[in-house]
Amino acid sequence: MWSSIYSTEWTNLVAMIPLFLCSVIIIAIILERAVNFRPSALYSEDLSKSVLSKIESGNWTEALTEVENKDDLQSILYKQGLEDRFKKNVMPEVAFLDHGLSKLDILAKWVTSLIFIAKIAPLIGLLGTVLGMIESFSVISSSAESGGVKPEEVAVGIGTALITTASGLMVSIPALVAASILKSMGEKVYFQFEDSFRMITIACGGLRRSEKD
């Protein structure tokens, strides 16, 4: 009996160690995103309105000055868009909608990793279960040859092997939930930036027409 349990637990380590590493990665991603991915820290409605107001008034240099020395994502994107538009004479649609939105891939950072872990964790758990059951039945087969097969040995061996399947699901479910939440938050911030860039693009277009007149 004890040899069956020992063998099954040893094979479980083949799955449990990767699952433990996956859980550590999930926790690290969640903590990193909790610090750096707060919507309030990524997008400020007040800053958007202030920059838009200055552009509509034709004070694009003041708009650029307002965001020039800031290192948050929103200010960096506004700064790059304004510099492209007014210093490099790039069309506003390109400066903001194309260049700006293309840099928002950072909002989806780590989501793919979480989805991958959510998919692979149950398979790792299942692998551990299969290996554990193979080892368990191998020991039981050896016991049968000596005429000493006991039902409790089968139950304990299979039960121990199934632990990895449960562990895989326990890792997969939080990863999937975290990925879903981060994806939803990223889409929300993306649409906020998109609306802001469209308003700025319209304002830049109006400013350009007034300059021609």
Determine the structural domain holding residue 197 and report its residue range.
2-25+48-212
CB 96 within 8 A of CB 200: yes
Residue pair 173/22 in contact (Cβ under 8 Å)? The answer is no
What is the distance between the alpha carbons of residues 193 and 56, in angstroms, rounded to a whole number? 18
Residue ranges in the chain whose pLDDT is less than 50? 1-7, 209-213
Cβ-contact 119, 5 below 8 angstroms: no
pLDDT at 154: 64
Q: How much is the pTM? A: 0.74
Q: ∠ at Cα 207 (205, 213), nearest 5°?
A: 105
Give domain status of residue 42, yes or no.
no
The torsion angle over the Cα atoms of residues 157, 158, 162 and 164, rounded to 10 degrees, is 30
Question: What pLDDT shows up at residue 172?
Answer: 96
Residue 33 counted as domain residue: no
Domain count for the chain, please give it. 1
Residue 41 belongs to some domain of the structure: no
CA–CA separation, 54 vs 81, rounded Å? Answer: 14
Residue 76: inside a domain, yes or no?
yes
Contacts for 62-71 with beta carbons within 8 Å, 24 or more apart? none
In a domain, 40, yes or no: no
Read off the amino acid at residue 207: L
- Confirm whether 32 is domain-assigned: no
The rounded distance, in Å, linking the Cα atoms of 87 and 101 is: 19
- pLDDT recorded at residue 148: 61
The answer to whether residue 35 sits within a structural domain is no
Q: What is the per-residue pLDDT for 69? A: 79
The answer to whether residue 31 is domain-embedded is no
